[in-house]
Structure 1
Amino acid sequence: MSSTLTVVAYLHAKPGQEKKLLDELVAMREPSLAEPGCISYQAYVEGRDPHRIAMIEEWKDRAALNAHFESPHFQRFAPKLEGLLAEPLVIKHFTAVDG
């Protein structure tokens, strides 16, 4: 298996907070992509339910992801989630199967 790590974070915005959540996620994109080991970082809105957002990220390895969690921009972002989410954040980690 590959050491590349794909992270899918599922977010459910509180009613009326969809734009604010998306703005915060978009603001995270550029500084995250500038981090060593960040391959991709993109938010997606579910077509039928604009309250539901998936953040799909690809990292070189788990060490790069761990460094992301310690970055200043992530540290500023994380506390804001409590006021924006209707449900707890769900994060799944995937590794590619080679072959």
Structure 2
Amino acid sequence: MAITVNIYYSGKNGNAKKFAEEMIANGVVDAICAEEGNLRYEYFFPMKDKETVLLIDSWKDQHALDVHHGSPMMTKIAELREKYDLHMKVERYISEESGIPEADKAFIKE
């Protein structure tokens, strides 16, 4: 049961993008991706909102996410959020064990 957390970081004056760039440049993203149980940690930029960055953060299970939340990476993330004065909106999703239903597969081109 994978857990995916979408985090929308919003700021002003391009700060959300600067935050994501610094996370990558400082190696924080690579360190998080190397944590056991991490499935995905990737930033996206909404086309209609230049002041928001979407982080898709996915973990093998709740235990892996809990370990991540207790890691030194969280201190660095919090420091950078403060530095760039970012606000967050969070969505959490739990993947179904059965995957994509057959009825939905008709709409997916692989």
TM category, shorter: 0.7 to 0.9
| Corresponding position of 1:29 | 29
Query: In the TM superposition, what is the alpha-carbon distance from 1:16 to its structure 2 partner?
Result: 4.1
- 4+ runs deviating over 3 angstroms: none
CA deviations on 1:38-86 (whole Å, 9 max, x unpaired) are: 0111000111222111100110011111111121122122122123235
**RMSD of aligned C-alpha atoms?**
1.8
- Give me the TM-score of the superposition, normalised by structure 2: 0.75
For the structure 1 residues 16 and 4, does the alpha-carbon distance in structure 2 shift closer, same or farther, using more than 3 Å as the test?
closer
Unaligned runs of 5+ in 1: none
Aligned residue for 2:52, secondary structure, equals strand
- Higher RCO (Cα < 8 Å, 6 or more apart): 1
- Give me the TM-score of the superposition, normalised by structure 1: 0.82
Unaligned runs of 5+ in 2: 102-110
Name whichever structure is richer in strand by fraction: 1
For the structure 1 residues 82 and 59, does the alpha-carbon distance in structure 2 shift closer, same or farther, using more than 3 Å as the test?
same
Aligned residue for 1:30, secondary structure, equals helix
Contact 1:5 1:60 in 2 (8 A): yes
Larger Rg: 2
Equivalent residue pairs, number: 96
